[in-house]
A = this chain, B = another copy of it.
Amino acid sequence: MFNEKQLDRMLQQARAEAEQLGVAVNIAIVDAGAHLLAFYRMQGALLGSVDIAQRKAKTAVLFPLPTEALGELVRQEQLQSLELSNSGLILFAGGEPIRLQGQLMGGVGVSGASAEQDKQIARAAIAALSGQD
């Protein structure tokens, strides 16, 4: 489980990255059980993305891949309908599993900008963990 310093750092870094990109997003962080740890809606972020950010974080823990990689796998392996499981998954970019020393610790989901920007912001959040306790 993340400690509060780690959680704060991830949220701060995600918000800073979004501001630098000039976008307003929703940011969700879940634990290794896919339960919500933290959520933040930046001012002006899309209302419909409140739910998507949380689903992306959940998806990235349940199937510990970047969400767009899971989407690609679903297309390649013709796993249509997999996204209906678990009360609804999201299969495009913006959800990332979080690993520390090889262990799955949780997931982060970002939604509100383009899928590529969402992904960049999610990765910035995770990068905030490295080299630190």
Which residues does A use to contact B, with CB under 8 Å?
1-4, 7, 31-43, 46-48, 50-52, 55, 59, 61-63, 71, 77-86, 88-92, 114-115
Pairs A–B under 8 Å by Cβ, sample size 18:
A2-B43, A4-B42, A7-B40, A31-B33, A33-B34, A36-B39, A36-B50, A38-B41, A47-B61, A47-B62, A51-B85, A52-B85, A71-B81, A78-B92, A79-B115, A81-B88, A82-B92, A84-B84
With A36-B50, A84-B83 known to touch, is A43 a contact of B90 (CB < 8 Å)? Answer: no
Q: Which among A3, A34, A50 has the highest number of chain B CB atoms within 10 Å?
A: A50
Given A38-B39, A43-B3, A83-B84, A114 and B48 contact (CB-CB distance below 8 Å): no
